[in-house]
Amino acid sequence: MAMHAYKSAPATKPTDADVADDMSPFLRRYKDGRIERLMVSSFVPPSEAPGATGVATRDVVIDPVTGVSVRLFLSLGAVATDKRLPLIVYFHGGGFCTGSAFSNVFHRYATSLSACAGALVVSVEYRLAPEHPIPAAYDDAWAALRWVASMADPWLADHADHRRMFLAGESAGGNIVHNMALRCATREGDEIDLDVEGIILLHPYFWGSERLPSETDRHDGPMLAPEFVDTLWPFLTAGAAGNDDPRINPPADQVKSLPCRRALVAVAAKDVFRDRGRRYASWLRHGERCGEVTLVESEGEDHVFHLHRLVRASAVALMDRVVRFVDGWAAPAAGAKETELLRQCRTTHLDEWQDNMAGNAKLASASIGLELGRASSAKLVQKGPFARAARERTVAKSCL
């Protein structure tokens, strides 16, 4: 199968004078054109033998010319129920310039998502900047969605419920979700049967030239400095666009007019992007075109924390929340306090689970307690058919 070859490194030890663009922590571009990616995760081959995870995987090349591909994740336990499975089209993060659907970190997360949600997950391998500047990633994502809509693949045809399609992604992937949902709404002349049930944006990468409070507050020491983020979008677009480009800084009217049945937006309390995510969810809520909007905040965490320690209690809580969203369950809001806050959770059997995960062994179940708090600064969480009522605590299970 075709894969994008992005990993590279200088043949000799570089000096500062050799560097044309230092985009740490993602990559460095050298004056001779070489690219050194700094966040490298090992390649994981697909396997239709599910092994201990219970999830079979298979790769499909959609376009041999561009190299856009997908990896499918099929929960065989869910298949055994003889029911059609929810379909999740997943776009990985990595700042549009690093990461791969075939890398260990995103393969592991998609496996967990498939196992926990009992879903067929389609993880998209899209082209990266700077070799392929924006809009290449959007074009590849759209090509993948068109392929999914065709239901030509046997796994999709035999197992997927096209009426329960979700678009999901974290960071840059969350940004792609928004832009694909927008394109689905306009179709831009495409006649395809693409019916999206819900969108899931985890720590979405949105930005702008005007600072929001979370972009000026250095108290929590965010993982990504605002000054660095200022330089990222112009770099990704090869200088063709600035930080007020509507693809990275969607205007309020555009978000409010986005038609979607359901939306889940997750932010992390220490993330430099958190106020962008909160505002996005608030605009969706007040636009009256999205039937149900949920905003989830993970207390004490930073950007995409859930990818790197799947057994961390807060990561388990976030996965459980995503699974309940896919299942159609939503926590009711309490009065005017409308942000669902995932506080520190109690998790049992974590040591056993970590041992199982380290070596791609059996994915264990962990029982957790979720404390659902209500953040005073929030403007929304739930809109929909669920009655508003106080709910202080719920207990969920995870099968990451």
Closest CA to 305 of 297, 232, 17: 297
Amino acid letter for position 184: C
User: 3-class DSSP state for residue 313?
Assistant: helix
Query: Per DSSP, what are the bridge partners of residue 334?
Result: 337
What is the C-alpha separation between 111 and 357, in angstroms, rounded? 11
Positive or negative torsion for Cα 326, 332, 337, 343: negative
DSSP secondary structure, 254-310, as one string: HHHT--EEEEEEEEETT-TTHHHHHHHHHHHHHHS-EEEEEEEEETT--TTGGGT-T
DSSP, collapsed to helix, strand or coil, labels residue 314 as helix
The C-alpha atoms of residue 168 and residue 126 are separated, in whole angstroms, by 14
Is 303 among the catalytic positions? yes
Q: Which residue has the tokens 């459980």?
A: 320
């985890």: which residue's tokens?
202
Residue in 41, 114, 123, 171 annotated catalytic: 171
Let me know if 171 is a catalytic residue: yes
Residue 391 backbone dihedrals phi, psi, to 5 degrees = -145, 110
The two three-digit tokens of residue 320, written as one number: 């459980």
Report how far residue 12's alpha carbon sits from residue 296's, in angstroms, rounded to the nearest whole number.
46
**Rg, the chain, Cα only:** 20
Active site residue 24: no
The catalytic position among 92, 132, 159, 303 is 303
Active-site choice (140, 153, 271, 275): 271
Task: Answer whether 204's CB lies under 8 Å from 277's CB.
Answer: yes
Residues in the chain: 400
Q: Which residues are catalytic?
A: 171, 271, 303
